Amino acid sequence: MKKSLTKLERLHRRYDVINLLQSAMRIGTEGLTLLFKVNGKTGNRTAFFIRKGFKNAVIRNRHKRILRAIYREQKHVLKQGFDFIFILSSGEYTYVQLRENVLRFLKRGNLLIEKGGE
């Protein structure tokens, strides 16, 4: 499986994003929120939103790149057929903190594939 995000794996239609924001399941803390919903397709689609409040665009874009990298690393263990939106609020986050939060949210939402025999 490719580690990049293909066009089919991105959630970019305005209608799809608004629909997901209105009717999705939400899991979050004060800094990061995960919204997800069954999409009825064979694959997952995702979008990443960063709220205003970061010091500058460089920091904001860095955090967005980190979130994308974490998702790409974990996409092979996710159940298929979901739309995801990750929303990050302003603050100072490390890669490890964001990764732990994302993994915790995916486990809490029962979105990870069950490994057999464990």
Domain chopping of the chain, boundaries: 27-108
| pTM for this entry | 0.87
- Tens of pLDDT along the chain (118 residues) come to 567 788 888 988 898 889 888 988 999 888 899 999 998 888 999 999 998 888 889 999 999 999 999 999 998 999 999 999 999 998 888 999 999 999 999 999 999 987 754 4
Q: What type of residue sits at position 39?
A: N
CATH of segment(s) 27-108: 3.30.230.10
